[in-house]
Every structure is written in C-alpha cells, then in structure tokens.
Amino acid sequence: MVAGILTAAVAAAVLTASGGAPGAGADCVRAEGRFAPSRAHAPALTYDRNLVPPGARILVTQRHEHGGTRVGLRVKGVRAGHEFGVHVHRKPCGVDPEAAGGHYQNHPDPVQPSENPDYVNPGNEVWLDFTARRDGSGAASAVHPWNFRPGEAASVVLHREQGGAGDRVACFTVPFEPRAGK
C-alpha cells in the first residue's frame, strides 16, 4: 500500500498557472511533471521507458510577449545524447500515444493528418526540438507572433526524431492559454 501511495505521488504532476498579469514577458502557464508509465492516469506519460524513463521531469512555460507567444521546455532524466522532436499538440495525453491528436497549427491544414510542408513547419507549429545533454537534461524555446486559439492546444509530445514527425515517446498535458481578449 505504501509503495502504491509513493508510486502515485511520484507519478503526479503539479500544474500551476502563475497568476501573473498577461503582459510582455509574464508567465501565464507554468506546468511541471514527472513522467509515469503510460498505463497510469497522470498528466505526464512515457511510451518509451528507454528514452524517457518514469520519474524523468518536465517543465513547460508559456508567456505572452509582444503580441505573440513564447513556449519554453526543460527536461531532466531523459536518455543522454538523444535528439528529440517536440511539438505542441491539440489534445490532452492519454494511454494511447495518439490521444494527443495532431500538432497545433496556427493555420490549420484542411487535410488531416497534416503532412503538407506548407503547414508542417516551425513557423506554423510550435517546435521545441532538443538534444539531451550528457546528464540527461535538455531545453528549448520557440517564439511566435501569434497566440493559441482557445481550447486547441493541450499537450507537448516528445517524438523519437527531430523535425515534423516520428513515433511518440512521451506526452505531457499542459493547460495552454490564449492571450486575454484575443
């Protein structure tokens, strides 16, 4: 029983909105979590324990800056040297890696799933690709002159390869917010 409680505590992610005013440089979302096995009911799920072991950590921030959005990512405890592709996705994470849906696109591709490079690119999507350092940490950020539409950005997915696609190895549900009044 104690082991179950400890496992649940480790698997739990802390999601907090900072409460700061959405001005230039103000965090409007700060979400932290520890990855749990995909069968768990947790905001941070790993689908590949070799690349993203249970207990690895993730921090995602969203800021409104100069009429646009900055998304930041930091991870600890992932496989050292691995080149991860990371994108904001449209739906929350689930036991099935496909539950997070497709990439969030500022200008949505009318053909889904989207494979057209006019839509699948770092200018139209939020790409946070990184290579994990020797200590298993990594970081990335992306800045765009646009903001998320209400209810259409809900998670960050780590992919096996960098670029526009690849197997989903982990997912973190994030309460992204549109800019107030937009």
Q: Which pLDDT tens digits describe the chain residue by residue (182 residues)?
A: 333 323 333 333 333 333 334 444 556 899 999 999 988 889 999 999 999 999 999 999 999 988 899 999 999 999 999 999 999 999 999 999 999 999 999 999 999 889 999 999 999 999 999 999 999 999 999 999 999 999 999 999 999 999 877 899 999 999 999 876 54
Q: Which tokens is 10 given?
A: 């480790």
Task: Please tell me the chain's helix, strand, coil percentages from 3-state DSSP, rounded to the nearest 5.
Answer: 10, 35, 55
Maximum distance among all Cα pairs of the chain, rounded to whole angstroms: 52
Identify the helix (H) or strand (E) that includes residue 5.
helix 2-11
In which residue are the tokens 């549109």 written?
178
pLDDT of residue 165: 75
What is the model's pLDDT at position 5?
29
Q: What are the residue ranges spanned by the domains of the chain?
A: 14-173
- Top-tier CATH class for 14-173: mainly beta
Paired tokens of 45: 């799920």
